[in-house]
A and B are shown apart, each in its own frame.
Chain A
């Protein structure tokens, strides 16, 4: 018996010895970088900011849903594709019959807040990183610029939304309350303008060739002008656009070239989302395929097709008509004959990538297409519109745009002239719906186009019901939904 007791005791001692090292045994390192590891890298600061840029490549941020909300809703575009093919809910976008349950709307909400979260992560870590102060200021500027794009998209769609300024703690009730409360539209605009002013103060006018594509001072000022335009601060719009006009931008001689590979990041470009068509591909997911011609001889899904109304609206000789619209049966600039058998009569040429004349490796999901966000022509048009309000020269900037399009200049410029010019110049650049609402004539124009635009309701999109549910009903719905 004594022997037995000895054995048991020895056994227990061995077990308890093993126990001492248990916590060491259980302490495994994750196979992905922990914050400590990631932040100790010399490139950590840049990587944090690059990840914010990366958000613009996501399907939910810049692609199908966003196209539906900004284009298919308008008089510029029809749903496209085949009659029975809804593209999830693009038929609802086309008819303006979407509801708070419509998926695209929730997707865009989600995407932009994911972008804001990435920006907030970067802004949380950047100040403490041990890097060159100039670089740090620039990176913070870039991040704030990008964050303001996300908020600008949200505020134009929904009006006031929850304002998330930092990385939230899900255990903290105050952070939860902030997340569940819509602040006013004005507060969001004020926040955007502060971000953009900070960005403008810290960003360089241009970059070395290896950093081409990063946000510049000009980009921040242009967006600031645009944000002011939406608030009708016309003097600021005028001043800011004038400031941008001194930064060395110029119009691309041939309008059509802007959307070709040779037009990427050119002197007209102020900010664009970058893409490459070589292995490994990197670009906005699905942007090219979703809008590519459909059916026999086609190359895509065939959504977001130019309307007859847009086609017929162009003045005689406007080069922009043919540069914006792919016509069934035409031969494109790269020699491609668009087959008569494609499903729709027209497609969006601004989303077109040439498989023969541009870098294209067959990977069409993430294509070479750079999506243009801000360009100099818009600065001129904003300048012209502001000039009409504050009593400046609207004719010169407007006519620069018209002449580049192969049109005669106008002698007397009216507000409607600028608005028409915006439609032709900026068609399919994700602006039309918001532009019409801003101009206060969305109902008039869209109802004339046969859409059921309800005044007092359709100026804004519905807050996604899913988000209201997540907030336990705290988020309020927009009127009419």
Chain B
């Protein structure tokens, strides 16, 4: 006991003070100030010596893992006598009969035991259900959830691992209000994350991640098993400390650390099968022939067809997913360490599409002295993927069933099927999707290394200095092998090798890329209570960042066909093409300050300011911006009149205002485009050419987002009912938009400038009920809902234009950016019905007798009005059960694969079976046609859906293996059911995240939603 460092005392005392606040108050004891407690406890050996009572000793254990809990605060109720448990969870304390011992520890329930003659009191502490004492991370520090004036949602580890996924962000779906996760089921893909709506068009739209204090753009290199908690910062008061990095929200990830005490080994594994969640039925050969012959107006295809290919079946398979994880942790009071290894493997539902990842992480923490603490954390993530073109989902949809995968018999025996009719004429432009998969030979390997070191020095008990340096670096290599000869032969069954007139049998492209990013932070934290009631916490710091990326690639023709010989050296000399690019270096320099003040733990104030300078504004006069915020809170439940309430355990009102910046635009510099060479001379030499082809605006600066937030947090009825409501209003006051200069100016590429105001306004609700009926049974049910109103409020630049987007690649565009409309709005012709020939009748909006772009209108956006998640579960004896669902309403989806249809392509079975009826003239589909359809409401569908994304049933085995503390086996179904109106493969279409993009909210070349069935086991030693 004497060896426990002062440092530890300080930490624990602080914690216990915070946590026991109510207990102390409830017992009528005069409030102790932190300072007094510190003094008292620093000298508690003195008190111990003074005591005359009997000594009670015992061990405190954790309920969840049965491990001893070191550092638990043990206090004799109503006195200032206290101690803490040692390394093995043991304690001893003096008390007299009739007195109560209070055991409290951060994150655990507080327990009280009356002393009645026992010499030994062993205690098992359960983890705390209430969030009262919970500490959340706030950026450059942490604070009690109770003291936060902003909107922060915390997701704990156990919630993440309930939803196995490649990336932790995927596991967040539906778990936090205000956080929209739009995912694609594609192997190795990362979902799109939007916090409180899409606030910007051109500049970066993604939140940033802060992993163990270090800012980064990615967490897909972290396995969910390695995460302790995720804190999502949503409002300006919380985000302003991140200034320019904060406008799209911040997700703070804390990875696991070793704990002092016994060594702990955790093993977990799961294995699962994946399949497509909802398939689209396509027309059969006979249906296709009937449809097409009517479209052509003559019998182009014989009704008697040899083949009836189900292309979708030909390109897909049952996917598998597998994950193994091991972690080892432990340590002494001086050193703690943590190691984990994770292997993930997925075979996608598209044939040949594979992904593997290996993660290794090592973390250690050293108490170099009582005052100095040093941490380091190194992780490595290695992945390999074999990409396959997702456009094959569209070609499989479009290719005619009368085309064989391969010809059987005849002179074409064994050749790939291509769409030629009996006369040998081609009838569509769709390739053979099976050939596209077979002849696609690509491989990518990536290595991501992240490391950081940090040191914290406690100058005094209320002042500490922290300095951190983090660096991440990634290396990618890939090859793309293009078998030109095979592709040539596959495109036409009549071709022979001798017809191939090119010298270029195949092409090998090898590419290497890398990036680096470093961050340096230094800050001081001052934390002290004055005159008992005034809590002051001040954080003052500075940070600098730099990042850059580069690639180099080389191409040669005619390498040997074996992949082990895929080296450029083995290619044909003189066919080299080399290419490389170095990105603009980006640097950021910032200063920040934050003041947290509370009066009597009732009235809270948070004020922050951050000053940021960015290298991006190379040509802009002022590179610097200031981003202030202020937050106020009132902890109503700490007022006298609620002090003894059994109903209201927690009630807090809060309000905040702040400004955030966004600088995620390309370097604002006027540069020469040097890729404009031309061939001159009798020897046809490429002579370099370069000029300025873009126009830049010298006035481009920070996007400034201003946000108001009002929130209520509560816990009622013994903390069984808890929740949080928020109203927010977030206005991007000078959104950077690509402006359309008249083409007369001759700019190619995009000109960016401040051109509009984008508002996201909404409500967030989170409500959770949990109850423990008895030791054998507890249950919980909860949900969250976000209503977000997105709107391009105002256009402020004369060159801002109703930018079009959502191109289908057939000359038709579907989206438009317009004042007064949400981002990603569909702008279409309205189909009113069909004329007597079965052609579309469009609404002639301006009554000019012609149907053109002027007759288009807005019909909703890709963005949902409401998205929500629900979860419920129970534990009964050794069984645990959990179910989760996620959904959204109010979004629209464009059926792009259907709308893109060029002549001769297949149609859906429902269309072929409901061909327009000439006689009654009324039907749901137009008459068969091979014309490219105009973009219209006919192809726009409701994007509402509700998906059960997880059902888990687990069973914890009694002691069957000696040494194992816990063995749990489980089975889970991911996405087993979806309720949707959309007739396509998936209403969840993240695309590249650009609301005006060609793939977000438009189903074209999209990966279908998949369902998976998984079994797994967790072992703890």
Q: What residues of chain A have their CB less than 8 Å away from a CB belonging to chain B? A: 3-4, 7-8, 11, 15, 18-19, 22-23, 25-35, 37-38, 43-44, 46-55, 57, 82-86, 88-89, 99, 101, 103, 106, 109-110, 113-118, 120-122, 161-162, 164, 168, 170, 179-180, 209-214, 265, 274-276, 278-280, 282-283, 294-298, 339-341, 343, 355-356, 360-363, 465, 467, 469-472
Contact = CB atoms under 8 A, between A and B. Distances in A.
Contacts of A51: 673, 676, 678, 689-691, 693
B494 A296 contact: yes
A114 B748 CA distance: 7
A28 B504 contact: no
B459 interface: yes
B670 A295 contact: no
A352 B331 CA distance: 76
Interface stretch (B1-9, B214-222, B739-747, B984-992): B739-747
Given A109-B743, A214-B680, A53 B669 contact: no
Contacts of B673: 32, 51
B839 to A, nearest CB: 15
Contacts of A101: 852-853
> Which of A37, A295, A362, A465 gathers the greatest number of chain B CB atoms within 10 Å?
A362
A364 to B, nearest CB: 9
Given A52-B691, A355-B501, A25 B544 contact: yes
B902 A122 contact: no
A280 B852 CA distance: 42
Grouping DSSP codes into helix (H, G, I), strand (E, B) and loop, the B interface class, with mixed when no group exceeds half, is: loop
Given A209-B683, A355-B502, 12 more contacts: A32-B674, A33-B671, A50-B676, A50-B689, A88-B811, A117-B745, A279-B557, A279-B575, A282-B677, A295-B426, A297-B495, A362-B503
A162 B744 contact: yes
Interface stretch (B508-516, B581-589, B641-649, B958-966): B581-589
Interface string B577-599: 10001111111010100000000
B614 A26 contact: yes
B695 A170 contact: yes
B55 interface: no
Contacts of B371: none
Interface of B: 295-296, 418, 420, 423-429, 459-460, 463, 465, 484, 492-495, 501-504, 524, 540, 542, 544, 557, 574-577, 581-587, 589, 591, 613-615, 618, 623, 667, 669-674, 676-693, 695, 697, 740-748, 751, 798-799, 801-802, 810-811, 850, 852-853, 902-904, 930-932
Contacts, number: 282
A471 to B, nearest CB: 6
B931 A84 contact: yes
20 contacts: A22-B589, A30-B584, A30-B669, A34-B669, A47-B674, A82-B426, A84-B902, A85-B902, A117-B747, A118-B746, A212-B680, A265-B682, A278-B684, A279-B557, A295-B424, A297-B424, A297-B495, A298-B492, A341-B424, A471-B742
A84 B743 contact: no
A361 B484 CA distance: 11
Contacts of B589: 22, 25-26
A58 B810 CA distance: 20
A115 B744 CA distance: 10
Contacts of B577: 279-280
Contacts of B492: 296-298
B618 to A, nearest CB: 7
> Which of B423, B672, B902 gathers the greatest number of chain A CB atoms within 10 Å?
B672
Contacts of B418: 296
A43 to B, nearest CB: 7
Given A210-B685, A275-B679, A360-B501, A295 B693 contact: no
B586 A28 contact: yes
Contacts of B501: 355-356, 360
B286 to A, nearest CB: 21
Contacts of A297: 424, 492, 494-495
A4 B460 CA distance: 8
Contacts of B693: 51, 114, 117-118
A46 B687 contact: yes
Among all A-B residue pairs, the 10 with the closest Cβ atoms: A84-B903, A117-B746, A362-B502, A50-B689, A355-B501, A341-B424, A84-B930, A362-B504, A32-B671, A51-B691
A219 to B, nearest CB: 14
B404 to A, nearest CB: 15
Given A121-B691, A470-B740, A57 B678 contact: yes
A7 B249 CA distance: 34
Contact of B585 (A28, A120, A213): A28
B426 A26 contact: no
B678 A54 contact: yes
B998 to A, nearest CB: 15
Nearest to B505: A362
A164 B744 contact: yes
B672 A33 contact: yes
Nearest to B751: A170
Contacts of A26: 587, 589, 613-615, 623
A470 B801 contact: yes
B671 A34 contact: yes
Contacts of B587: 25-26, 28
Contacts of A341: 420, 423-425, 494
A130 B612 CA distance: 41
A355 B980 CA distance: 52
A53 B691 CA distance: 11
A360 B495 CA distance: 18
B294 to A, nearest CB: 13
A48 B690 contact: yes
A15 B592 CA distance: 11
B689 A53 contact: yes
Contact of B811 (A8, A49, A89, A339): A89
Contact of B425 (A35, A279, A296): A296
A117 B688 CA distance: 18
Given A32-B671, A35-B672, A465-B853, A50 B692 contact: no
A340 B424 contact: yes
Contact of A296 (B296, B424, B459, B591): B424
Given A275-B679, A297-B492, A341-B420, A361 B503 contact: yes
